[in-house]
Structure 1
């Protein structure tokens, strides 16, 4: 029998959590008083381009391993099985695309804000449109990243709701304001280590409780949780091989490839090779996170296989399952729950700190510098003031999020709905040399409109639940005084045979193929809309002449993916862009001639910053 528990935080748990926050603040203080002391925007915003691959890679993993991920991904494996594991393949493909297709263009240009690239490629209006879209996305997400884990922990552990919101918000604002990007990266390293330690502790203790990992997998397999073979092409099925690797891949490409919070970390690396090394580490790091979340979810299911806490009414939402599981097995070990709560809030701090730094960077680089005649020292102080202001704004957004109902679902969909159009905008710029500024602007607006249409529509027309069956046949409840055990039995559902998904519920009109599509396809739909509208509009309004573009602004995808083709064939596929071949010296364009070389050199001096990529 599984008993309901009412364990709450002890004094030692609060001590462990307070020590973690103190260490995080101490890292910011160290970088504020040592080294360059964050006196220039170059140091404050991109760490003097002096970071190496491993800490940057760990920071990238920590940034998007949000508290929502720590709480939600184990619950995903608990409720829906192991199809989510295919994201491990998507992470690998996306990281390689970022390393060789997207990030080298931004790095070689020597920019600080990724939206500066949009001005070089199009014009300042498109740059501001992209920056404002990003601001809306991150401001809402930061408030959610603080509030969602605080709410889940408060309802299960009794951990102070608004006390934790203010503590995390103030500590994160403090070390970001005084320590700059270096402090953000090194606190991410600490926080990711704590997150991994928290998962490991939970997995070891939980598996011991149910008889070992072999027993965990046996139970999970019997109850239909081990499942990797959904290859259907039906877009209405929540998770298939195709929706995860195509739709989910584009979702993560938007997060890692063109999001300022991530690009800024790549740009802080010493060399391009170091930045690419951070991408390689990202493959390892994200898969380790996925493995930890998968094992935690399966171990949790093995313990509650016949007594689901959500169905029993012991938790109010599935994202509270991990905190409940934590207090169930560690409630009598003072200090250990505090460690795992520190792990959860590590994820929150890493997401918020990256948001604060990137938001301040975009305003400084995209608004202050282009429109105001200020010196570097003034810009540095403006950046610090912006971080401070955005920190308090994130706490305010947490209060707003508390009034919005199911903020977890709304926030995740909003993040995806905005990320897709931004990915489409940058893809237009990088891969389609004919696209002009009018096509880019109209394409972005079309992508946002399509994305919000399907995203908001699906909230009001939700698809049928695809959760796997659970049971409460072995629960022991407590009465209203939480003292007297009451036995409860029900007829358990038949979960001894392999589970097969039920066909989607018959619905009509847009509910079937539009609002009923998998949430992972939102990015794919919006990217497609941006590309189609952007290209058509560009040709209608007068396409950009590829030969007039600086070749450094266009990603040489033909040379990357079709390197086995002869040079002349690849030259034709450049469509007029004056690239050089990868197998030729950087000082010449091979057969293009001296005139083209002079054109390239002149454009590079005009449109890009001098920066040694140290290849």
Structure 2
């Protein structure tokens, strides 16, 4: 009987068929795009889809890029353990979408960049561009390793799928269609994978609701279990999820992901017009709302099923990330093929994120490292390098999966990585786009200070996890379990032994319960604020007020805001018509005096 604990079924033949079929269809879409575009082998076509994409598929790809297997598995577990506070991220997604669409997209689109970090050279200097790119590569490799490893481990321990076999297969499929199909293949497979993810959630919710007597009963069980206390206005910055940490910290963290992360920037600058680019972000916002809502409802359904028998406390699973796969095998195994659909949903999320990361890593490596140094590279050499780098980064991401195994809760670990690294980077971009005073020395110094502080608090939190009651999950029970194995760790009485203890618990430093207990959502806020304040002050002290005037196209303009009807001309495409010979040999100072029509992506590589 579902919800009473104990072993669950493993995969049937039909589950394997459905799972393999969906993954093969995803790979087939990538191969189709490769064959369809076999005559269009330019770097722009491979990395940006020829800058001819439209809003809806790009929006679905934007959503799928970071709605990964971690979302499919981690977000329902979040709702099960901590309630619906995570639903407030819907507000964060709205704030992020508006800020990114109205402030960042016009600047990147106007400059015709391929790599988001080209902007750092145009605004500051080449060393800052290289540092920014390097930070992105490290962050993305870590995150992608986590994306590959965590769902594979959870599903392996529940369904019996071979762990490393699936890890290698995941990377291999991504490598194939990224290498052959480029960005178009990535975007169109993301569309399929987004649909599969949503269908997986719906299958869990529908079956759970039937078992529990309807969604009203699911909602009532969640209310009685304290899972619907969404609005917590506790201002304590150590509170893991509160209204303030999610609205303030979550908005800045997600803005850092969407506004300057190459995986996302590369998508919306592939749109054929600025209007399409902006619209893709607003459609993506709706996609994020739908995804997080279905994930939350899946978590509440899971709580309703296990309200009297918590699988984690009962020893049926080892971590909270295995809860949803356990539920699927518990309530859906009698329907052959449906568990396979859910596993495909989790892996579709993984594939979409990994393929996005590989494609973005190839783009920044080519644009920020290889092309500027290799002046006479041919188009054929560029094509082969793009393909070779796709294979290399695919293998690297698989290798990083081992590192990811020590990072704890997948959802929190993934977002922590972005907060620690993207926060200072976002502060650097805000300094450049909104203020004329910041110079290279001051801005770089500010970013380094911000990065040191975020790494300090983030790594400290990994070593000394918060123990305050503000981070504890909501109560669960095992009174309704049929199986009562492995429950010794839930005994209410203190454990005692006739043998005297000879080891003492590790001593927590004074900072552990304050500085290291800062909510992971405030990592990005800390990085942004410290970078802007220190960068601005150091710039003023090092001659920032006396530097040459920068070109206005490097800054946010009032006319960029909420422009759709007048944004149907691709400035990026127009500027690319300028011959490279016209911009060779110029330096950064000369660039500040050039007219707007000369600024282009090619120009950035010649500075």
Task: Name the CA distance, whole Å, in 1 between partners of 2:14 and 2:200.
Answer: 16
Say whether 1:602 aligns with 2:605: no
Partner of 1:125 in structure 2?
127
Task: Name the CA distance, whole Å, in 1 between partners of 2:161 and 2:484.
Answer: 22
After TM superposition, the structure 1 stretch with the greater mean CA deviation from structure 2, 59-68 or 159-168, is 159-168
- Answer whether contact 2:434 2:556 (CA < 8 A) is retained: yes
Q: What secondary structure, in the 3-state scheme, does the structure 2 residue paired with 1:477 have?
A: coil
- Structure 2 gap segments, 5+ residues each: 493-507, 572-590
Say whether 1:279 aligns with 2:281: yes
Task: Name the CA distance, whole Å, in 2 between partners of 1:544 and 1:381.
Answer: 46
Q: What secondary structure, in the 3-state scheme, does the structure 1 residue paired with 2:482 have?
A: strand
Task: Name the CA distance, whole Å, in 2 between partners of 1:124 and 1:344.
Answer: 40
Q: Structure 1 545/213 Cα, relative in aligned 2: closer, same or farther at 3 Å?
A: farther
Q: Structure 1 172/559 Cα, relative in aligned 2: closer, same or farther at 3 Å?
A: closer
Which digits, 9 at most, give the CA deviation of each residue in 1:392-413, with x for residues without a partner? 11122223434x3637354542
Q: CA deviation at 1:479?
A: 7.2
Task: Name the CA distance, whole Å, in 1 between partners of 2:143 and 2:239.
Answer: 27
Task: Name the CA distance, whole Å, in 1 between partners of 2:128 and 2:491.
Answer: 60
Q: Structure 1 219/471 Cα, relative in aligned 2: closer, same or farther at 3 Å?
A: same
Say whether 1:456 aligns with 2:465: no
Task: Name the CA distance, whole Å, in 2 between partners of 1:82 and 1:186.
Answer: 32
Partner of 1:470 in structure 2?
476
Q: Structure 1 558/510 Cα, relative in aligned 2: closer, same or farther at 3 Å?
A: farther
Partner of 2:318 in structure 1?
316
After TM superposition, the structure 1 = structure 2 runs for residues 231-270 of structure 1, keeping only pairs within 5 Å, are: 231-270=233-272
After TM superposition, the structure 1 = structure 2 runs for residues 474-489 of structure 1, keeping only pairs within 5 Å, are: 474-477=480-483
Task: Name the CA distance, whole Å, in 2 between partners of 1:117 and 1:313.
Answer: 51
- Answer whether contact 2:314 2:485 (CA < 8 A) is retained: no
After TM superposition, the structure 1 = structure 2 runs for residues 556-567 of structure 1, keeping only pairs within 5 Å, are: 556=557, 560=561
Partner of 1:524 in structure 2?
525
Count the aligned residue pairs.
Answer: 554
Task: Name the CA distance, whole Å, in 2 between partners of 1:93 and 1:223.
Answer: 31
Partner of 1:33 in structure 2?
35
Task: Name the CA distance, whole Å, in 1 between partners of 2:415 and 2:216.
Answer: 34
Q: CA deviation at 1:175?
A: 0.4
Partner of 1:551 in structure 2?
552
After TM superposition, the structure 1 = structure 2 runs for residues 442-453 of structure 1, keeping only pairs within 5 Å, are: 442-453=445-456
Partner of 2:427 in structure 1?
424
Partner of 1:172 in structure 2?
174
Task: Name the CA distance, whole Å, in 1 between partners of 2:555 and 2:354.
Answer: 32
Which digits, 9 at most, give the CA deviation of each residue in 1:121-167, with x for residues without a partner? 01110000000000001112112211110000011111121111111
- Answer whether contact 2:69 2:348 (CA < 8 A) is retained: yes
Q: Structure 1 41/449 Cα, relative in aligned 2: closer, same or farther at 3 Å?
A: same
Partner of 2:301 in structure 1?
299
Say whether 1:71 aligns with 2:73: yes
Which digits, 9 at most, give the CA deviation of each residue in 1:421-450, with x for residues without a partner? 111111111112111111121122111100
Task: Name the CA distance, whole Å, in 2 between partners of 1:479 and 1:239.
Answer: 32
After TM superposition, the structure 1 stretch with the greater mean CA deviation from structure 2, 255-264 or 470-479, is 470-479
Task: Name the CA distance, whole Å, in 1 between partners of 2:432 and 2:380.
Answer: 33
Q: CA deviation at 1:560?
A: 4.8
Q: Structure 1 439/490 Cα, relative in aligned 2: closer, same or farther at 3 Å?
A: closer
Partner of 1:393 in structure 2?
396
Q: Structure 1 559/108 Cα, relative in aligned 2: closer, same or farther at 3 Å?
A: closer
Partner of 1:335 in structure 2?
337
Task: Name the CA distance, whole Å, in 2 between partners of 1:545 and 1:197.
Answer: 58
Which digits, 9 at most, give the CA deviation of each residue in 1:494-529, with x for residues without a partner? xxxxxxxxxxxxx98423431122111111011111
Say whether 1:290 aligns with 2:296: no
- Structure 1 gap segments, 5+ residues each: 481-485, 492-506, 564-581, 587-598
Q: What secondary structure, in the 3-state scheme, does the structure 2 residue paired with 1:228 have?
A: coil
Q: Structure 1 136/250 Cα, relative in aligned 2: closer, same or farther at 3 Å?
A: same
Partner of 2:580 in structure 1?
none
Task: Name the CA distance, whole Å, in 1 between partners of 2:89 and 2:404.
Answer: 28
Q: What secondary structure, in the 3-state scheme, does the structure 1 residue paired with 2:272 have?
A: coil
- Answer whether contact 2:332 2:338 (CA < 8 A) is retained: yes
- Answer whether contact 1:473 1:490 (CA < 8 A) is retained: no
Q: CA deviation at 1:338?
A: 0.5
Q: Structure 1 79/334 Cα, relative in aligned 2: closer, same or farther at 3 Å?
A: same
Q: What secondary structure, in the 3-state scheme, does the structure 2 residue paired with 1:7 have?
A: coil
- Answer whether contact 1:113 1:361 (CA < 8 A) is retained: yes
Task: Name the CA distance, whole Å, in 1 between partners of 2:233 and 2:483.
Answer: 41
Partner of 2:438 in structure 1?
435
Q: Structure 1 541/490 Cα, relative in aligned 2: closer, same or farther at 3 Å?
A: closer
Partner of 1:577 in structure 2?
none
After TM superposition, the structure 1 = structure 2 runs for residues 3-82 of structure 1, keeping only pairs within 5 Å, are: 3-35=5-37, 37-82=39-84
Q: Structure 1 418/405 Cα, relative in aligned 2: closer, same or farther at 3 Å?
A: closer
- Answer whether contact 2:551 2:594 (CA < 8 A) is retained: no
Say whether 1:377 aligns with 2:380: yes
- Answer whether contact 1:96 1:280 (CA < 8 A) is retained: yes
Q: What secondary structure, in the 3-state scheme, does the structure 1 residue paired with 2:247 have?
A: helix
Q: Structure 1 600/117 Cα, relative in aligned 2: closer, same or farther at 3 Å?
A: closer
TM-score, length-scaled by structure 1: 0.86
Q: CA deviation at 1:5?
A: 2.7
- Answer whether contact 2:96 2:254 (CA < 8 A) is retained: yes
Q: CA deviation at 1:58?
A: 0.1
- Answer whether contact 1:101 1:557 (CA < 8 A) is retained: no
Moved over 6 A (4+): none
Q: CA deviation at 1:606?
A: 4.4
